[in-house]
Chains A and B, each alone.
Chain A
């Protein structure tokens, strides 16, 4: 599967079911980059769980706009695949905050972790900004993982903006069919938004 080039149509040509299925349905299912799911929380939720992700695309992209409701300036984001909460993940991140650079890792962790989610004690109306790219998610020969960027704003003062580059790997070769996002403490607050895209070959 993948992109099917669209033929030139002439006046009077009829859009048959075969043409529809090949050039419209087929390309929408796997040939074009498209949104698979988009949700904005109307109330607090402990997890955002994308289940039964279709296996028709080459890659996935996830964009997240989170805020937490825990009584803290910020909290951590945890991503897990296929419902696995075992110690089967490894992650690495590097961070810039004001003029300070730092880094951290997790080995044999129970999820892929980042810390750029503003929470209840952060300045009002500030949300985190996340993008995650998950390549080759349906292959069954090698580990799955992602790389991404994250940013948060927690105060209006110097050091109030955090920027992170991060990546993580799941020690499993299974095709990825589910992504579960949760926070280290508290819930995702209302207004948090998550959008999952399928990317074609």
Chain B
């Protein structure tokens, strides 16, 4: 398990219930895209069609 957490807002009850749960390693960053930071004066949001 990691030391990262998920804030779960459970709406099943009459009042929303907020619980901080540890985030399992296999829930982290699954296939996260690479985001290239734009150079000064350049707009970049990653290569178009980037494989997310």
* A and B together in one complex: yes
B32 → A minimal CB distance (Å):
5
* Cα–Cα distance between A100 and B40 once the two chains are bound (Å): 12
Contact of A73 among B5, B33, B37 (CB under 8 A): B37
- Total A-B contacts with CB atoms under 8 angstroms apart: 128
Q: Is B30 a contact partner of A54 (Cβ separation < 8 A)? A: no
* Cα–Cα distance between A162 and B38 once the two chains are bound (Å): 11
Q: Is B31 a contact partner of A39 (Cβ separation < 8 A)? A: no
Contact of B35 among A96, A184, A187 (CB under 8 A): A184
Using A184-B33, A185-B32 as known contacts, say yes or no to A49 and B8 having CB atoms under 8 A apart.
Answer: yes
Near B by CB (< 8 A), chain A positions 148-174 give 158-159, 162
Q: Is A113 a contact partner of B9 (Cβ separation < 8 A)? A: no
* Cα–Cα distance between A105 and B46 once the two chains are bound (Å): 10
Q: Give the residues in chain B near A46, CB-CB below 8 Å.
A: 4-6, 23, 28
**Main secondary structure on chain B at its contact with chain A?**
loop
Q: Give the residues in chain B near A128, CB-CB below 8 Å.
A: none
Q: Give the residues in chain A near B35, CB-CB below 8 Å.
A: 72, 74-76, 115, 184-185
A81 → B minimal CB distance (Å):
14
Q: Is B11 a contact partner of A76 (Cβ separation < 8 A)? A: no
**Main secondary structure on chain A at its contact with chain B?**
strand
Near B by CB (< 8 A), chain A positions 65-81 give 72-76, 78
Count of chain B residues with a beta carbon within 8 Å of a chain A beta carbon: 36
Q: Give the residues in chain A near B7, CB-CB below 8 Å.
A: 39, 41, 45, 47-49
Q: Give the residues in chain B near A54, CB-CB below 8 Å.
A: 11
Q: Give the residues in chain A near B27, CB-CB below 8 Å.
A: 47, 85
Using A106-B52, A110-B52 as known contacts, say yes or no to A97 and B38 having CB atoms under 8 A apart.
Answer: yes
Q: Give the residues in chain B near A196, CB-CB below 8 Å.
A: 9, 11
Using A37-B11, A104-B50, A110-B30 as known contacts, say yes or no to A72 and B37 having CB atoms under 8 A apart.
Answer: yes
**A-B contacts, 24 listed (Cβ < 8 Å):** A36-B11, A39-B18, A43-B5, A44-B5, A45-B5, A49-B7, A50-B9, A51-B8, A51-B10, A72-B35, A73-B37, A74-B37, A75-B35, A76-B33, A78-B32, A97-B38, A102-B48, A104-B47, A106-B33, A107-B49, A109-B31, A113-B33, A113-B52, A162-B43
- B: residues with CB less than 8 A from A are 4-12, 16, 18, 20, 23, 27-33, 35, 37-38, 40-52
